[in-house]
């Protein structure tokens, strides 16, 4: 993918190439999108190298099945603990700084993972390292998407946000497809630790690239003042414009049931498919499973604008997706045929991926720019909290009964997301029916003293 260099990281200085005119180096929507897609490609490629083998890697390190999923739960717990603080960092120190911190943290904690695998470390060390990995990802969540939305708005972009996010999913899906297949087969022909080392190398490259090309546009970080005071101020504003806005709140509350179960469902596919396949050391099959989800992500990203046209409301698309996902996940658990399960995994991935851009556009249309990174991070926090509970619970059910039973239980849990999305739909937020991306509205918080039915999400 061709990478533009619209500006230098330290300011509005231009490339030393004398053929580059100032006009050619100005940030524009196409350049912003190219930077976003390129960094997304590298991030996802690095991450996905281990997605197909992570659970198997933990089991190979000497952990039990319960300990492996508990380690994943500690990773998710790290995301819960650090989501809001890192979102505040993004809103105070800048989205670029947050991205760079996330890259370094993930690179170092990934190398530490390899060390723990080599020395067959006790569980508590895996728990600590998993929390650090969660910290690294929280620097990304919210901040990277907020950087994109604000930069597009600042450079005059007037197109559909779903189209940009959907294409981003395609780029991420391509990277995941390549990374998961490569990671699985690299592990099969060498060892389970090498994909983790490759991941750290790619993250180092991404750090250098982001340092050179990223710049906060359309957003001025709040520097100065006392850090704790700034944190309280931003968190208070985020609660006012996020949690106290009913449409945002109910959408967030649906996340623990859908996102929480999806985390387990993805990682449990690795040992489950190997079990159905009958060859526990065929790591390439585990990588292929992740690649199938990646391919579904590509198709889902491409079809997101089309799916959006099928529904007048974005929330209607989300409700339909959850119900279909529940049926599909139950089918994965009830079937014991490898190829049928593989086909159902494709459908499940398509359903999940096609609605992510719709949900992202819905939330971005409800929240103001200044608190965007923090509120999006809080949304990730709520979703991750579901994974903290779902992973050990469903993992234990897999130990006691079977992986298939754990998928059926997961489907029942995910179904509980539907009532919350219905409550969000009843708020009649303008972002629910908007077709093209509009400047984010400063949504009104709830006003308990008023008794008449009002739209709390209209622009002031």
How many C-alpha atoms does 403 have within 13 Å on its Cβ side? 19
**Buried b / exposed e across 278-292, counting CB within 10 Å, b at 16+?**
eeeeebbbbbbbbbb
CA pseudo-torsion sign 347, 353, 358, 359? positive
- Domain, as residue range, for 184: 26-433
Hey, what are 21's tokens? 């005119």
- When divided into structural domains, the chain yields a total of 1
1 found inside a domain: no
| SS3 state of residue 8 | strand
Give pLDDT, residue 145.
80
pLDDT number for residue 296: 74
The number of CA neighbours under 13 Å toward the Cβ of 429 is 32
- What was the pLDDT predicted at 370? 66
Residues contacting residue 277 through CB under 8 Å, at least 6 positions apart: 285, 338
How far lies 357's CA from each of 6, 33, 165, 362, in Å? 26, 15, 5, 8
451 lies in a domain? no
Q: Is residue 450 part of a domain?
A: no
Task: Dig out the tokens for 298 from the structure.
Answer: 């590509």
CA separation for the pair 411, 294 (Å, rounded): 21
What's the whole-model pTM score?
Answer: 0.67
> Is 406 contained in some domain?
yes
CATH of residue 241: 1.20.1250.20
Q: What is the pLDDT of residue 6?
A: 32
Among the listed residues 160, 181, 159, 214, the one whose alpha carbon sits nearest the alpha carbon of residue 40: 214
In a domain, 314, yes or no: yes
Block residue for tokens 């060498």: 190
Whether residue 390 lies inside any domain: the answer is yes
399, part of any domain: yes
* pLDDT at site 238: 64
* pLDDT tens across the length of the chain (460 residues): 333 323 333 333 333 343 444 444 567 888 888 999 999 999 989 988 988 788 889 988 988 878 888 898 898 888 777 876 777 777 778 888 889 999 999 999 999 999 999 999 999 999 999 999 989 988 876 688 888 888 888 888 877 776 787 788 788 878 888 888 888 889 888 888 999 999 999 999 999 999 998 888 877 766 655 556 666 666 676 677 667 788 888 988 888 888 888 888 888 888 888 888 877 777 777 677 777 777 776 777 677 777 777 788 888 888 998 999 999 999 999 988 989 998 898 888 888 777 777 887 788 778 776 666 667 767 777 777 787 888 888 888 888 898 899 999 999 999 999 999 999 888 888 877 765 444 443 343 333 333 333 332 333 3
Report if residue 445 sits inside a domain. Answer: no
């Amino acid at each position: 993918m061709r990478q533009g260099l619209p500006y230098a990281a330290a300011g509005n200085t231009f490339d030393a190439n004398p053929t580059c005119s100032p006009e050619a180096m100005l940030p524009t929507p196409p350049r912003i999108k190219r930077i976003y897609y390129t960094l997304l490609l590298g991030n996802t490629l690095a991450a996905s190298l281990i997605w197909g083998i992570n659970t198997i890697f933990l089991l190979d390190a000497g952990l039990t099945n319960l300990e492996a999923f508990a380690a994943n739960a500690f990773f998710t717990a790290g995301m819960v603990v650090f989501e809001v603080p890192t979102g505040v960092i993004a809103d105070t120190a800048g989205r670029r700084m947050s991205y760079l911190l996330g890259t370094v943290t993930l690179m170092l904690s990934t190398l530490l993972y390899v060390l723990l695998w080599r020395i067959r470390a006790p569980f508590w060390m895996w728990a600590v390292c998993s929390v650090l990995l969660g910290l690294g990802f929280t620097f990304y969540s919210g901040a990277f998407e907020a950087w994109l939305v604000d930069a597009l708005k600042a450079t005059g972009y007037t197109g559909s946000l779903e189209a940009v996010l959907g294409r981003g999913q395609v780029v991420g899906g391509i990277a995941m497809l390549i990374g998961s297949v490569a990671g699985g087969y690299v592990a099969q022909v060498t060892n389970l630790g090498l994909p983790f080392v490759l991941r750290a190398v790619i993250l180092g490259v991404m750090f250098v690239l982001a340092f050179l090309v990223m710049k906060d546009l359309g957003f001025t970080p709040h520097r100065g003042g006392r850090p704790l005071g700034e944190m309280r101020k931003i968190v208070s504003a985020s609660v006012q414009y996020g949690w106290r806005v009913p449409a945002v709140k109910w959408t967030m509350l649906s996340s623990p049931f859908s996102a929480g179960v999806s985390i387990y469902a993805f990682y449990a596919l690795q040992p489950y498919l190997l079990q159905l396949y009958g060859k526990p050391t065929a790591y390439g099959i585990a990588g292929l499973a992740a690649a199938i989800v990646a391919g579904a992500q590509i198709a889902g990203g491409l079809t997101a604008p089309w799916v959006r046209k099928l529904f007048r409301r974005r929330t209607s698309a989300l409700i339909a997706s959850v119900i279909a996902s529940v049926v599909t996940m139950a089918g994965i658990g009830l079937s014991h045929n490898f190829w049928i399960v593989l086909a159902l995994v494709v459908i499940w991935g398509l359903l999940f991926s096609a609605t992510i851009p719709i949900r992202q556009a819905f939330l971005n249309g409800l929240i103001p720019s200044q608190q965007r990174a923090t509120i999006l991070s809080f949304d990730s926090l709520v979703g991750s909290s579901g994974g903290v509970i779902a992973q050990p619970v469903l993992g234990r059910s897999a130990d006691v009964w079977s992986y298939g039973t754990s998928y059926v239980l997961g489907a029942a849990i995910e179904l509980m997301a539907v009532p919350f999305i219905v409550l969000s739909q009843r708020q009649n937020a303008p972002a629910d029916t908007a077709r093209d991306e509009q400047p984010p509205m400063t949504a009104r918080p709830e006003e308990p003293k008023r008794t008449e039915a009002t739209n709390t999400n209209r622009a002031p």
